[in-house]
């Protein structure tokens, strides 16, 4: 196939029916346009234009070629326009994943602002535990995932975000346990309500308890933070939740914190992306402007 620039000269000459106007469009000299047309005619072994005093007009072969070239340049221009729209967030997709609790208490406010500012961006949100979200990232099903740290996986890079504090909370039935600090060994004698075994929160509290020589066994296992909250309020046991997620209940007095003698270390929420994956403009804008996470600053 001939050089694209030769076709570009042909395209604009055919559109303008003038070598000089084509030269103005292409920001080159008229002799350069004439030379390009002649070179294309030599390569294709046809005459493309009838040249006259008032300009040029297409030959039959030139008209046939122009019909195809016009469509090609239209598609190229459309592609460039679409790329510009994606860059300027006039179109595109934000593909992410998180647990229900992180979505509700951490992501939702930022997503609301982003979608209000960029209504043309399509949102594709997948739900799951931290291990499931990491798997979705590695499979390419999402561009990034909101996860609880720590995450140990060499295939992903994690960008740290905010710190959160986990705690045990109880409803009125167990308020007597909230009056003073209680040893973990004593707390596990009461009915505990924990996340399911596959969650990062369950793994975290299990390892925390083992570090203090205590084996923790829940009375009830649930997969939803909202149910953990409601079950604790109903007096069915003592739930292990992120303190920031129950702040309203603590302030209203429907729940109270059970303070341990052994302090629970804080955890961080992170953004996980696949190594060497190029982030889309929508993803980069969301992370930087709405989650205040800099994609360039990461740890594996």
Q: Output the pLDDT for position 73.
A: 87
Residue 296: predicted pLDDT: 63
Are the CB atoms for 230 and 169 separated by under 8 Å? no
Hey, how many other C-beta atoms are within 10 angstroms of the C-beta on 31? 10
Tell me the residue length of the chain. Answer: 300
pLDDT along the chain (300 residues), means of 10: 85 93 94 95 95 89 94 84 81 91 92 94 92 93 93 92 95 96 97 93 95 96 94 98 95 97 95 90 93 67
pTM for the whole structure: 0.70
- Region of 56 please: left (phi>0), alpha (psi -120 to 50) or beta: beta
Helix (H) or strand (E) holding 191: none
* pLDDT score for 298: 44
Count of Cβ atoms closer than 10 Å to residue 230 Cβ: 16
Structure tokens at 165: 């504090």
Find residue 127's DSSP bridge partners: 98
Domain positions in the chain are: 4-87, 93-163+268-290, 166-265
Confidence at residue 228, expressed as pLDDT on a 0 to 100 scale: 96
- 177 cis-preceded (ω within 30 degrees of 0): no
Candidates 96, 99, 92; CA nearest to 136 is 96
DSSP string, 238-295: EEEEEGGGGHHHHHHTSSEEE-BSSPPPPEEEEEEEETTPPPPHHHHHIIIIIS---T
pLDDT at 48: 95
How high is the pLDDT of residue 54?
80
At residue 299, the pLDDT reads 43
What's the CATH fold of domain 4-87?
Answer: Arc Repressor Mutant, subunit A (1.10.10)
Q: What pLDDT was estimated at residue 1? A: 52
Q: State residue 86's pLDDT score.
A: 82
Handedness of CA 131, 134, 139, 143 (dihedral sign): positive
pLDDT for the residue 160: 92
The tokens describing 22, both together, are: 């084509």
Residue with tokens 């341990």: 260
C-beta separation of 18 from 49 below 8 A: no
Contacts (Cβ under 8 Å, ≥6 apart) of 260 = 168, 181, 182, 183, 184, 187
The answer to whether the 4-87 and 166-265 domains have the same CATH topology is no
Q: Return the CATH number of the domain spanning residue range 166-265.
A: 3.40.190.10
Residues paired with residue 125 on neighbouring β-strands, in sequence order: 96
Instruction: Give percent helix, percent strand, percent coil of the chain, each to the nearest 5.
Output: 50, 20, 30
β-pairing, 166-170 with 238-242?
Answer: antiparallel
Q: In a 10 Å sphere around its CB, with 0-12 CB exposed, 13-18 middle and 19+ buried, how is residue 84 labelled?
A: exposed
Q: Return the CATH fold of 93-163+268-290.
A: D-Maltodextrin-Binding Protein; domain 2 (3.40.190)
CA distance 100 to 106: 10
Residues 6+ apart with CB under 8 A from 95: 124, 126, 141, 142, 143, 144, 283
Q: Could you tell me the sign of the dihedral formed by the alpha carbons of 265, 103, 294, 271, in that order?
A: positive
Q: Which two tokens stand for residue 35?
A: 């030379």
């Amino acid at each position: 196939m001939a050089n694209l620039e030769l076709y570009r000269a042909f395209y604009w000459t055919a559109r303008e029916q003038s070598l000089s106007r084509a030269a103005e469009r292409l920001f080159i000299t008229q002799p350069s346009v004439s030379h390009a047309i002649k070179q294309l005619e030599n390569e294709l072994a046809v005459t493309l234009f009838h040249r006259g005093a008032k300009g040029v007009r297409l030959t039959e072969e030139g008209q046939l070629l122009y019909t195809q070239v016009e469509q090609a340049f239209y598609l190229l221009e459309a592609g460039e326009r679409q790329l510009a729209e994606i860059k300027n967030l006039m179109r595109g997709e934000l593909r992410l994943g998180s647990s229900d609790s992180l979505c509700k208490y951490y992501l939702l406010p930022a997503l609301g602002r982003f979608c209000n500012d960029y209504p043309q961006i399509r949102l594709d949100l997948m739900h799951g535990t931290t291990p499931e979200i990491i798997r979705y990232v590695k499979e390419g099903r999402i561009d990034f995932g909101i996860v609880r740290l720590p995450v140990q996986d060499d295939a992903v890079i994690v960008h740290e975000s905010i710190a959160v504090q986990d705690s045990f909370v109880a409803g009125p039935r167990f308020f007597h346990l909230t009056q003073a600090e209680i040893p973990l060994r004593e707390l596990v004698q009461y009915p505990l309500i924990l996340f399911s075994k596959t969650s990062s929160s369950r793994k975290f509290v299990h390892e925390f308890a083992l570090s203090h020589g205590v084996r923790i066994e829940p009375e009830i296992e649930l997969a939803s933070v909202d149910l953990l909250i409601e079950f604790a309020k109903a007096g069915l046991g003592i739930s292990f939740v992120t303190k920031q997620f129950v702040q309203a209940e603590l302030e209203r007095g429907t729940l109270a914190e059970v303070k341990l003698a052994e302090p629970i270390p804080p955890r961080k929420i992170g953004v996980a992306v696949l190594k060497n994956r190029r982030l889309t403009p929508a993803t980069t804008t969301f992370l930087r402007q709405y989650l205040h996470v800099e994609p360039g600053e990461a740890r594996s």
